[in-house]
C-alpha cells in the first residue's frame, strides 16, 4: 500500500481524525446493473425519509462539517462530497453514472454519510500526505474546474494536491485505464465509523469491481 501520513498541521486541528485506506486491483466496467439496483434502493430510502434540512444533522456529515470549520473552511460554501450527494438524492435528482468503481464509492458514501476519495494508484507519485490546502495552490477538480483549496483538508503527493473531501482531482481520477485503486475514507470523528465503512467498502469492491490483492489500513 502507498505510504499515507497525516500531517502534524491537520492533526493539531483534528485530533480524532482517522483515515480508512483500501488499496486493491480492480476491473473497470462502464456500468453494473446489480450495483445500480442497490444504489437506486438506497436513494429511494434516503429520498422518502430525508428532508433537505436534516442532511447536515447526519452524524458523519455533522462531524465532517465541524472538521472543515476547524481547518478554516466554510462547509456551506465548499460542501463535502457526501453531503452534496445526499442533498442531490433528497432533491430527487439522478446521480451521475461514471463507472463501476466511482459508482460504488458513491454507494458507500450514501450508506455511511462519509466522504470518500477514490484514486488511480498509478497516477500518484510517492507517499501521500493528508494536510491543509495552501493559498493559491493549483487544483483542478473533477467537473468543477479550478477549486480554491486554501484551508481545505487535502491529500498531496510529490507532484501536487490531488484529493479532498469536497472534490477529487482530474489528475488521479478513476478511468477505464485504472488497474490499481486507492480508496480513502475520511473519518473526522474517529475510527469506529471508519472501521465499519472499510468493511462495507471491501464487501462492495469484491462484489462489484472483482477486487483482488486487497490491503487495508487505519491511519490515525
| 179 pLDDT higher than 80 | yes
| Distance (Å, whole) CA 143 – CA 186 | 21
pLDDT in tens, 61-95: 999 999 999 999 999 999 999 999 999 999 988 89
Q: Which CATH number is 27's domain given?
A: 3.50.40.10
pTM: 0.95
Cα atoms in the 13 Å half-sphere on the side-chain side of 106: 24
| Residue 192 binned pLDDT confidence (cut-offs 50, 70, 90) | confident
Lowest-confidence range among 36-50, 101-115, 192-206? 36-50
Q: What is the mean predicted confidence (pLDDT) over 143-152?
A: 95
> What is the secondary structure of 31-55 as a DSSP string?
--HHHHHHHHHHHHHHHHH--GGGG
Please give the order of strands across the beta sheet that includes 161-163: 4-6, 128-132, 153-156, 161-163
Length of the chain (residues): 220
Number of domains comprising the chain: 1
Three-state secondary-structure class, residue 157: coil
> What is the secondary structure of 118-143 as a DSSP string?
EEEGGG--S-EEEEE--TT---EETT
Q: What is the pLDDT of residue 193?
A: 77
| Residue 98 belongs to domain spanning | 4-219
Amino acid at each position: 500500500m502507498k505510504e499515507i501520513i497525516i500531517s502534524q498541521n491537520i492533526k493539531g486541528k483534528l485530533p480524532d481524525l482517522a483515515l480508512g485506506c483500501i488499496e486493491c486491483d480492480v476491473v473497470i466496467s462502464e456500468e453494473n446493473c446489480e450495483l445500480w439496483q442497490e444504489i437506486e434502493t438506497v436513494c429511494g430510502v434516503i429520498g422518502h425519509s430525508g428532508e433537505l434540512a436534516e442532511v447536515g444533522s447526519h452524524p458523519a456529515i455533522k462531524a465532517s462539517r465541524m472538521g472543515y470549520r476547524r481547518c478554516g473552511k466554510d462547509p456551506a460554501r465548499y460542501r463535502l462530497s457526501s453531503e452534496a450527494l445526499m442533498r442531490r438524492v433528497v432533491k430527487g435528482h439522478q446521480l451521475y453514472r461514471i463507472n463501476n468503481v466511482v459508482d460504488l464509492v458513491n454507494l458507500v458514501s450514501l450508506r455511511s454519510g462519509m466522504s470518500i476519495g477514490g484514486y488511480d494508484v498509478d497516477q500518484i507519485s510517492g507517499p501521500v500526505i493528508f494536510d491543509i490546502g495552501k493559498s493559491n495552490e493549483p487544483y483542478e477538480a473533477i467537473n468543477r474546474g479550478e477549486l480554491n483549496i486554501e484551508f481545505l483538508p487535502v491529500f498531496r503527493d510529490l507532484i501536487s494536491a490531488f484529493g479532498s473531501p469536497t472534490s477529487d482531482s482530474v489528475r488521479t481520477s478513476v478511468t477505464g485505464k485504472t488497474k490499481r485503486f486507492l480508496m480513502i475514507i475520511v473519518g473526522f470523528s474517529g475510527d469506529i465509523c471508519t472501521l465499519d465503512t472499510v468493511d462495507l467498502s471491501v464487501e462492495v469492491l469484491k462484489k462489484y469491481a472483482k477486487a483482488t490483492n486487497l490491503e487495508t489500513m487505519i491511519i490515525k
